[in-house]
Every structure is written in structure tokens, then in C-alpha cells.
Structure 1
Amino acid sequence: MPRTILVVDDDPHIRQLLVFALAKAGLNTIEAEDGEAALAQARVHGPDLIVLDINMPRMDGIEVCRRLRGEGDVPILFLSSRDDEIDRILGIELGADDYVTKPFSPREVVARVMAILRRVSGRPPEVERAATALRHGRLTLDPEGWQAQWGGEAVALTVTEFAILRTLAAMPSKVFSRDAIIDRLRGPGFALTDRTIDSHVRNLRAKFAGHGAEDLIETRPGIGYRIGACGG
């Protein structure tokens, strides 16, 4: 069944470009011209992913993201007209799964959308060969339900946060460089930054710290990250 993408941007030309490109990729689309319309469309249609512009009238994308994250975990791809690293990191920290800066190629946006959808629907080979649940210390990951637990308590994660944690937990003895994590999540060739991965890891630590987890992810200076003991 085709996935449905909500495209939110106050520029009708950009919406038209993205709707055309996404339709060519076999995806259904719905549109919204501002933040308030985006919330209404999301609540009515329940899209599989939202492409969300940051700078919009009436309600900007940051506030839309905050409200959506209070209601569920639909994947969000931010669009930003400012080539500013702080804006990018802010978007990720709010719970967005990826970002693209303007001007952009519609093909790049489609590629990012498809990568996120694959992460939502797919499971890595090492999980398929193992039991459904992946356990490490007090950490439990359910790849089919995309749910994480710490000591039996649910921890709400975005798609990208879950994918990073699953990558680390599936190979607990391995230290992953940031580039290796990016390759695992998206495949080689995507121009993400080390700071984006650092931001996701920081979010993961903060979320699990609220459940008493102080050793979720270890930092190996100059190398990268590995899963911690996780209370085990």
C-alpha cells in the first residue's frame, strides 16, 4: 500500500515540486500551506511521514514539531531556508528525523523520505536472524514495533534515535565511528554531519537518564560510540 506524505510549506511552488517528485516515487501526498493547517491535516489523515518547513506564517515548523511530538511519533523531515548548523541541530533535538536545507534537489528530498520510510518498515539482518526482541542489560528493543524499554518502562524515541540505538546494541563489542553510523542508517553518500549524530546521541542519553539509565552509550574519544553496560 502506498505511503502518504504530508508536505508542509507556505511556498506553493515548493509544494508543487515536492508533490510531483514524491508522486513519481509512488507515494501519496497531501498538502498544507501553514502550521495550523499542517496540524489539522496530520490529525485527520495520519500521514506516514511529514516534510515540514521551519519558517512559515501563523505557526512555524518548530512549534508544529513540538505539538506533533506531544501527540505521537510520526517521522518528520525538516526543510530550512537557513544554512545554519544551529537550526539543523535544533530541528533534530525537537524530534525531527532528518533535515534538508534550501535550495534543494527534489530528488534528494525523495531519497531522504524513502530512507526514513525504510527504517520504519525494515529490520536489519542481524535482528531478523535473532529473536524479535533485542536485549542488552536493562535495555530492550522491539524492532518490529519500534519500541524501546529500560527496565520494563517504555522510552519514546524518534525513528532515527531508535535506529542508532539498535545499531549499537546489535553489536555491543563494536565501537562505531560517526561515519559508520551514518552509513548504517542511510547508506553511503548522504551528506550528514558528525554534529547531527552527536545531537541524536545526546537526546538518547537525556531520554534514558530520565529513567535512571546513566550508562546507555559510551563515548570513545577520537573514535566514536558504543553501547554501554546498560545496567547489566
Structure 2
Amino acid sequence: MSTPADDLKTAVIIEDDPEIRHILSEVLESSGFSTVSVGNGIDGVRAVLTYKPLLTTIDVTMPGIDGIEAAKRIRAQSDTFIIMLTGLSDEADVIAGLGAGADDYLLKPFRPRELRARVEALLRRSRGLPPTAAPAPASQGSVGPSFPAARVATASTPVVPVVADAVVVPVPAAPTASGPAPLGSDGEWLVHRDLRLHPENRVVLIGDDELELTRTEFDLLATLLESKRRVRSKADLTLVLRGESYVTSYYVGDADKRAVEAHMTNLRRKLGESAANPRYIETVRGVGYRLTAESA
């Protein structure tokens, strides 16, 4: 008999509003998830470590630690998909949520149909490598929260990874002063200047330094590296991230484009560059993004 922690279709709901928790449970269970609901960030972090869910929804404004801090703690120890639910539409709040490790966000009030579409889109995307040695949810002898048993739904939806039509460049692994060669050193890398990305092992290097990117930041960077100097619009990148790159009728709204902008802001920060003086990614005003020229 499988336990909730073994269920690949478990979802943890972190939300302090009982009515919204109920709506989220109904929507996710209708999509084939078993659900575990908690009302604050601390219990939410513990629930994620206990149940190891495929998906986690987090409300931004909660008592105790807020959703941003909860997302940071979860992302440090779990590769669960994270959808932030927020009534805050200011771009700074969106950037903060995505920078904390969220894969997507929804503004309240939201339509259940939209939430289902966002969840299905996340499931179509390849998951990153699992985290290593996540700590136990509570130390021996401590008193942890009493979580409800996961409510199991009967439907199931397969996880279908997106297969990118990448044009890759084989290069040898960069020598290191000590330690093993980087992951994927025998495989194919996407290369631009001193930036290298390994699609299969999901490793990004600048020189010999490895970057820690969120799943979405990695997918954005991989798409731009594959596209080289071809401009990718915000709508185009939204569709790529959702596995809808060949569905021209899929609606892309302003909120989706703002999310891409926020992810790009965080990605550029991690790359150590700015939009005003780009080394790797340049903005084509009014159109989208592309790689910079190979030489300055």
C-alpha cells in the first residue's frame, strides 16, 4: 500500500482562508491529486517535507512567515512545483515571489479553470534533478504538527516532458583545479561566450562557476541559447514554458508577459548582468529577447 509521501500526484495547499483552501482542494482533486491543506507557512514547509508533493500552492499573505519566505524554505529543500496565489499585482511582489523559487503565480480572484490550465502546463514541463539529502521534517523527540491524511482522488494525468528541438554544440569540459568534472562533461552543451548549459543534466556554468537557477529560469535560458540570435517574444516564451509552443490559439495575457519579465529580471541578476549593459541576453525593445552577439 502506497503512502502519501510516495504518491506522485500529491498537492500541498498552504492557504489561511478556509474557503479558498476548499476551492483549491476541489480543483486539484478533480485534476487527479490527493491534497493536504494547512493554514500557515510554518506548517506548510513541514507538510512539503513530509508528503514530498508534486505540486504546492502558496498564498503570499499569511500569518507567521509569509508566502515568500515559505517558498524560499521549500525551494531550498524540495523540487516541488510552486504556484503562488496573490492579491498583490505590483511587479515588485511578483518578482519577489518568482525570485523565491515559484514556477508560476495567479492573481486572486482566480477562475478554477485557469488554475487547472496552469497546473496542466506545469506537468507538461520536465522536472529538474531531485534535491539531495533533504532533511527530515522534524527531529526525533520534537512535537510536529498533526497533518491530515491526504485525500486521494482517482483520476490520473501523465507527466509528459517537453522535448526541445535543440541545436547543441559538443565541447569538452572545462578543467577544474580540484574535484570531479562537472555533470554532463561527456555530453552536449549549449554555449554562448563563457556561458554553458547542459540540457540533460540541467547544469549551467559561467566559466567554472555553477549557477543555481530555478526550473523556469533554466528553461528560459535554454530556449534563448537554442534560438541564438532569433528574437523570442514574451508571448512566445510563455508558450514555450507551458509546453504550448505549437498551439497558436493559446491565450497569453498581460499577467503572463509580466511573469516572463520578472523571471528574466531574476535570471539576469544571477548571470551578473543588466538590461542596460548585457553580456548574454539583450532586450529587443517592443519585441522580446535574444542572445547578444558572440563578440562585444
TM bucket by the smaller chain?
0.7 to 0.9
Q: 1:84 to 1:228 in 2, by over 3 A?
A: same
Alignment of 1:1-232 (within 5 A): 2-121=8-127, 122-127=161-166, 133-137=188-192, 138-186=194-242, 187=244, 188-191=250-253, 192-209=255-272, 215-228=279-292
RMSD: 2.8
1:133–1:140 CA contact under 8 A, matched in 2: no
How far has the Cα of 1:161 moved from its partner?
A: 0.9
Higher helix share: 1
How far has the Cα of 1:231 moved from its partner?
A: 8.0
- Aligned twin of 2:145: none
Q: Which runs of 4+ in 1 moved over 4 A?
A: 128-132, 229-232
Residue-pair matches, total: 230
Q: TM-score, normalised by structure 2?
A: 0.68
The CA distance in 1 between the partners of 2:229 and 2:87, in whole Å, is: 41
2:10–2:54 CA contact under 8 A, matched in 1: yes
Q: What amino acid sits opposite 2:284 in the alignment?
A: R
How far has the Cα of 1:222 moved from its partner?
A: 2.8
The CA distance in 2 between the partners of 1:206 and 1:28, in whole Å, is: 37
Moved more, 159-168 or 81-90: 81-90
Q: 1:194 to 1:111 in 2, by over 3 A?
A: closer
2:168–2:190 CA contact under 8 A, matched in 1: no
The CA distance in 2 between the partners of 1:129 and 1:216, in whole Å, is: 17
How far has the Cα of 1:221 moved from its partner?
A: 2.4
2:281–2:289 CA contact under 8 A, matched in 1: yes
1:5–1:29 CA contact under 8 A, matched in 2: yes
Moved more, 191-200 or 36-45: 191-200
The CA distance in 1 between the partners of 2:74 and 2:295, in whole Å, is: 32
How far has the Cα of 1:3 moved from its partner?
A: 2.5
The CA distance in 1 between the partners of 2:82 and 2:66, in whole Å, is: 14
Which of structures 1 and 2 has the bigger CA Rg? Answer: 2
Instruction: Note the residue ranges of structure 2 that are not aligned, 5 or more in a row.
Output: 1-6, 128-160, 171-186, 245-249
The CA distance in 2 between the partners of 1:217 and 1:129, in whole Å, is: 18
How far has the Cα of 1:104 moved from its partner?
A: 1.0
Q: What amino acid sits opposite 2:290 in the alignment?
A: R
